[in-house]
Every structure is written in C-alpha cells, then in structure tokens.
Amino acid sequence: FVCFLVLNTGLHRRHLGDNFDERISQRHQSFVVTADNRFIISTGYWDKSFRVQNTDMARTTQVLYGHFDIVTCACRSEITIAGNCFIATGSRDSTVCIWIWNGTKGAIVDKEYPNQEVNPSPAAILTGHDTEIVCVWISAELGIVLSGSEHGLVLQHTLQGEILRAFENPSDMATPRLLSPSNDGDIIVCYDRSKLSLYTLNGKLMRQAIFEEETIQSLVLSADGQYTVIGGDRGFVQIIRTHDLQPIYAYPQCDASIRSLAITHDQKYIIAGLSTGCLIVFNVNFNVLNQPRRDPTGTIANSTKPIQ
C-alpha cells in the first residue's frame, strides 16, 4: 500500500468558532461539505442552530434555526446539474428537518420563496422518533430519508415527511450510531460500539457481525457498494465485504483513533481523519481485492491481504 501523512500544521487553517455545546461530542456526522467544497455546514451549537461557513475565510454566511434543541447531525443528498441538493439535520428534539440547498446562491433557501435566504423554513419536518437523533442519511434519487435515534429504531421517511417503515433493531436497547446505504439498496447500520447489521432497502435484516475488539467511529461504502471501509478507536482502517460483512484487509495501525473516513471519487484512495487532527491517505484498488494471486511456487495465495 501507499500511505501519505498530512499534518495539522498548515498555514491556511480555519477555525469554525467557539460556540459548540460542550455536552455534544463532535463527530464526522456533525459536519457536511457541499459538493463544490466551498461551504461547510456545521452542527452542535448551544443556541440550537446549525451554520453555513465559507471554506476560504471560515466566515459564517448563514445561521439557521428549525429545531427546538441542539442539532446533532447532518447529511446532504446527491446534487442536481444546477448544484442544488437536500440537507437533512437531526436534533435532540427527536425530529429531522429537510432543507433545500441552492448551489448557485451558495445558501439554504426557503421552499416556498426560493429567493429568501434569511430565516428560511424547512421543506419538511420528519417525526416518529422518541429520543435524540444520532445519525441521518438522505437521497434525492431514491426520495427517502433514513434516521436513527438513541436506544431507538432506524426509520425510513419520504422527502415529504411520510413514514414508510421501521427497521428491526437487533437489540431492544441498541443505538444506531452510523448508517451508510449503497447504490444497490443495501444499508449498513452500526449499532452501539461494534455491531454491524446489513439491511435491504425494505428494512429486512440480512446479516450481522460483531467486531468485539473495536469501537467503530466511521464507515463508508465503495462506489459499487461491494466493500465497506470502517475505522475506530484502535486506529485500524479495515475493508470488509458488504454482502457477508467479512473482513478482507486491514491497513497498518495508526497512532490515534480514526474519527472520519472518505473514499475519493476515483476510488483509488481512502482518507482517514485522526483524533490528533492528522489526515492519512491510503492507496486502495477495490478491483483486485478478491482476485486470486499466484505466489512464486505456483500455488494460489490469499488475495485479500495485498492491495496494489
């Protein structure tokens, strides 16, 4: 593998502010970057707002209110040709709000009054949870929103706010911390610290796996959905097969907890954000993970270990 280390010592660092609520631990789902990389949407502020900041100057361009408690997580949908998309925000008030992002204006706008950038209203408010929202996912293409709550269920809504179904919870008290669907409709949910569950888009539980020695902090699927990359407190970035949740490769251990993961658009690199503020870039080739490789003796070697 090839590894690059990016240290947190650059001259162009920007600060998002000092108004985060100390009761909320910042996670990768606390922030959303727009498709053009010009804006960051951040949550977790004590005044129950979420904010839009320009990435060039770290200047706050919008402060938005729509929840009755602290906003805990956010996610954006795919973008249209014009650069527009939906933004979903979850809160401690147990609701999910859907917002409209206008790529041309670089702002969240009102559904009824698209030119209104000051105090826009949510396009929809999703209900059905009884506790704090801890994870959310939204798709404009599929027209659905997935959300998970503390010690609760994963619920599936339409973009208009109609509830479709609740996913079976493997344990009555388990909390869905992370969720990531694939383009094929498979959905991986991480419950509590280390339990992964694979669902169909209709909410049917297909398979479960427990990573007992790991506390999973982030997960992301490859573009084709065949592989899932996970990272956690032990500092390992692991690749698992999505359909059976079997680990097939682990990168060398990092010197800090993995807090965030991303795969580049060309599917050639995995970017891991560490608790120390460093970024580590790993080379990956998903196409060769399951291809048989021959060793010099002519026997078939395990192809899941090396990554070219």
- Could you tell me which residue, 3 or 181, shows the higher pLDDT? 181
Residue 208 is assigned to a structural domain of this protein: yes
pLDDT, tens digit, 9 for 90 and up, residues 235-275: 999 999 999 999 999 999 999 999 999 999 999 999 999 99
Among 89, 70, 88, smallest CA distance to 78 is for 88
pLDDT, tens digit, 9 for 90 and up, residues 168-207: 888 877 899 999 998 778 899 999 989 999 999 999 999 9
In the chain, the percentage of residues whose pLDDT exceeds 90 is 65
- Whether residue 302 is predicted with pLDDT greater than 70 in this model: the reply is no
Q: What is the CATH number of the domain that holds 81?
A: 2.130.10.10
In the chain, the percentage of residues whose pLDDT exceeds 70 is 88
- Whether residue 73 is predicted with pLDDT greater than 80 in this model: the reply is yes
- Whether residue 292 is predicted with pLDDT greater than 60 in this model: the reply is no
d(CA 154, CA 145): 10
Which residues have CB under 8 Å from 288's CB, separation 6+?
303, 307, 308
What is the predicted pLDDT for the residue at 306?
29
Enumerate the H helices of 109-208 as residue ranges.
none
Among 149, 155, 181, smallest CA distance to 167 is for 155
Q: Which amino acid is at 163?
A: I
**Phi, psi of 287, deg, nearest 5:** -70, -25
**Total tally of structural domains belonging to the chain:** 1
Residue 165 is assigned to a structural domain of this protein: yes
19 CB neighbour count, 10 Å cutoff: 14
**Predicted confidence band of residue 12 (pLDDT cuts 50, 70, 90):** low
What is the predicted pLDDT for the residue at 41?
95
129 near 155, Cβ under 8 Å?
yes
Per DSSP, 130 falls in state S
Residue 1 is assigned to a structural domain of this protein: no
Q: What is the domain range of residue 239? A: 17-246
Q: Which amino acid is at 56?
A: D
Q: What's the chain's length in residues?
A: 308
- Whether residue 288 is predicted with pLDDT greater than 90 in this model: the reply is no
Residue 295 is assigned to a structural domain of this protein: no
For tokens 């320009």, name the residue.
54
Can you tell me the mean pLDDT for 95-118? Answer: 90
**Predicted confidence band of residue 24 (pLDDT cuts 50, 70, 90):** confident
- Whether residue 301 is predicted with pLDDT greater than 70 in this model: the reply is no
Residue 207 is assigned to a structural domain of this protein: yes
d(CA 122, CA 166): 23
Least confident of 121-130, 181-190, 221-230: 181-190
- Whether residue 56 is predicted with pLDDT greater than 50 in this model: the reply is yes
d(CA 299, CA 295): 6
What six digits make up the tokens of 188?
Answer: 């991986």
Q: Which amino acid is at 222?
A: S
Residue 184 is assigned to a structural domain of this protein: yes
**Predicted confidence band of residue 20 (pLDDT cuts 50, 70, 90):** confident
What six digits make up the tokens of 269?
Answer: 């690199």
pLDDT, tens digit, 9 for 90 and up, residues 196-217: 999 999 999 999 999 988 899 9
Residue 255 is assigned to a structural domain of this protein: no
**Phi, psi of 288, deg, nearest 5:** -110, 5
d(CA 200, CA 47): 37
64 near 52, Cβ under 8 Å?
yes
Give the angle 183-236-137 at the CA atoms, nearest 5°.
30
Q: Which amino acid is at 47?
A: D
56 CB neighbour count, 10 Å cutoff: 10
Say what the pTM is: 0.85
- Could you tell me which residue, 194 or 27, shows the higher pLDDT? 194
What is the predicted pLDDT for the residue at 305?
31
Residue 293 is assigned to a structural domain of this protein: no
